[in-house]
């Protein structure tokens, strides 16, 4: 029962895009009409490289027990460069560099995870409990238009447990609790304005923290081979601390934001960390035979609840979403 295992994963993602933007806005302030236009071209180049792995060693403890020790490193590096050029009527070309909308950004994320867990397993009961300590380093560096860097270190304790009980060969109950972290993406960190909709401006936030998510779930399954019936029930809930939410500011008057003019009524959206995100869902399906048709009928239903926090003009806003679903198959 003694084992040692190694795992290595790596990935490379590149993306290139070119865009042309022409915007014509008509405003009226105090009965005075105003016309504003944007004519520009842009190019975006992003590249992301990741490498990670784990080493796991297990040691048997008596007849049904097993102790496991693991080490999991993970590294990702992302770069993004956006060049924006405005139209120059004198030269009839897009040769005027817009420094407020151009940006070069680098981001690295290094994570080390050391964990220990105990597993008990016999014919009916399988139970695992464990905990891991995680050290994560997030470094963000902006090269253009202004140079600055952000260094953050996150220490996390990540507990987890799972229980699986077999009532019989065709009936079992499973319960699990997991925790995990997730870093912000380079787009969410990059402090450059996206003006593709000049009335709804968006940008990133280099001060973002990583998210911490807790997941709890329950699954129950039963099949009756003699009667050809089956029942499956699933329920889980997710709670995220430092959830990356939108902070929306609606300007009451003309404003200059990051050297970009925003007229009254324009929305400015930036990601921020907020706690209080919840996602809960249930699902049930039941199958039974219809002998006269020589067929099986499966009916199912479910419920989804999502609670999403946001900020609107610096005031906290919570959106509650409820969804029901049902179906059948023959």
- Could you report the per-residue pLDDT of 110-143, keeping only the tens digit for each? 999 999 999 999 989 999 999 999 999 999 888 8
The answer to whether residues 87 and 56 touch, using CB atoms and an 8 Å cutoff, is no
Residue of 115, 106, 107 lying closest to 73 (CA atoms): 115
Whole-structure pTM over 0.95, yes or no? no
pLDDT of residue 1: 81
Res 272 pLDDT > 80: yes
Return the structure tokens found at 85: 């050029």
User: Can you tell me the distance from the alpha carbon of 265 to that of 195, in angstroms, rounded to the nearest whole number?
Assistant: 15
Position 59 scores a pLDDT of: 95
**Residue 192 exposed, middle or buried by CB count within 10 Å (0-12, 13-18, 19+):** buried
Tens digits of residue pLDDT in 47-90 = 999 999 999 999 999 889 999 999 999 999 999 999 999 999 88
Whether residue 28 is predicted with pLDDT greater than 90 in this model: the reply is no
- Distances in whole angstroms, Cα of residue 37 to Cα of each of 17, 86, 128, 176, 199: 23, 11, 62, 55, 12
N- to C-terminal Cα separation, the chain: 45
- Could you read off the pLDDT of 211-224 as tens digits, one per residue? 999 999 999 999 99
Token pair in block for residue 151: 């260094």
Instruction: Find the angle CA(160)-CA(68)-CA(156) to the nearest 5 degrees.
Output: 40
């Amino acid at each position: 029962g003694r084992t040692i295992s190694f795992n290595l994963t790596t990935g490379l993602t590149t993306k290139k895009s070119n865009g042309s933007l022409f915007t014509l806005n008509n405003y009226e302030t105090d009965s005075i009409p105003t016309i504003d236009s944007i004519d520009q071209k842009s190019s975006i180049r992003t590249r992301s490289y990741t490498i990670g792995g784990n080493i796991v060693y297990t040691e048997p403890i008596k007849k049904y027990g097993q102790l496991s020790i693991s080490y999991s490193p993970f590294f990702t590096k992302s770069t993004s460069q956006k060049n924006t050029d405005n139209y120059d009527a004198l030269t009839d070309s897009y040769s005027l560099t817009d420094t407020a909308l151009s940006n070069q950004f680098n981001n690295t994320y290094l994570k080390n995870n050391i964990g220990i867990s105990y597993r008990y397993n016999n014919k009916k009961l399988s139970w695992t409990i464990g905990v891991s300590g995680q050290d994560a380093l997030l470094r963000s560096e902006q090269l253009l238009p202004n140079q600055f860097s952000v260094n953050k270190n996150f220490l996390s304790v990540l507990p987890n447990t799972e229980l699986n009980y077999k009532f019989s060969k065709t009936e079992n109950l499973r319960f699990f609790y997991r925790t995990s972290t997730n870093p912000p993406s380079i787009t969410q960190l990059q402090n450059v304005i996206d003006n593709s909709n000049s009335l709804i401006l968006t940008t990133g936030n280099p001060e973002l923290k990583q998210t911490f998510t807790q997941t709890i779930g329950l699954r129950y399954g039963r099949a009756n081979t003699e009667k050809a019936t089956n029942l499956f029930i699933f329920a889980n809930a997710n709670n995220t601390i430092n959830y990356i939410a939108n902070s929306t500011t609606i300007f009451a008057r003309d404003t200059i934001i990051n050297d970009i003019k925003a007229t009254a009524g324009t929305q400015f959206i930036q990601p921020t960390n907020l706690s209080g995100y919840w996602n809960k869902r249930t699902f049930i399906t039941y199958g039974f035979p219809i002998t006269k048709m020589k067929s099986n009928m499966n009916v199912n239903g479910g419920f989804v609840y999502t609670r999403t926090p946001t900020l609107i003009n610096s005031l906290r806003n919570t959106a509650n979403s409820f969804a029901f679903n049902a179906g059948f198959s023959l």
